[in-house]
Amino acid sequence: MWWSLWWVWMVGALLLAILEVVAPAQIFLGFAIGAAGVGLALLLGVPGLAGSVPLMLLAFAVISLVAWLALRPLMGIRKGQVKHFTHDINED
């Protein structure tokens, strides 16, 4: 079926990465990395992955969670930091 094609997962990863650029919240990037990871695993022919939708979804969830946890300290606000806005972008 179409969900077991590697390029479908890569297109999904690309769309999620574009969505991250449009709505930067450091959430969609983890999902994009997860989709790319599943697509790469399907391309490399990881045994048992192509025929099992639950296993593909589990791999997607685990890779996305690991990517999100790894990216959060790098891209998010670090502990003890607070964002301060000194000016309004609409006032020029």
Instruction: Give pLDDT tens digits for 11-63.
Output: 999 999 999 999 877 789 999 999 999 999 999 988 888 888 899 999 999 99
What pLDDT shows up at residue 39? Answer: 93
Nearest CA among 36, 29, 31 for reference residue 6: 36
What pLDDT shows up at residue 59? 94
For residue 77, pLDDT beyond 70: no
CA 48 – CA 64 distance, rounded (Å): 20
Does residue 80 have a pLDDT over 90? no
Q: Is the pTM of this model over 0.75?
A: yes
The C-alpha atoms of residue 54 and residue 50 are separated, in whole angstroms, by: 10
Q: How confident is the model at residue 92 (pLDDT cuts 50, 70, 90)?
A: low
Alpha carbon distance 10, 4 (integer Å): 11
Q: What angle, rounded to 10 degrees, do the helices at 28-44 and 53-75 form?
A: 140
For CA atoms 56, 42, 21, 26, the dihedral sign is positive
Q: Is residue 70 scored above 80 in pLDDT?
A: yes
Helices (H), the chain: 6-22, 28-44, 53-75
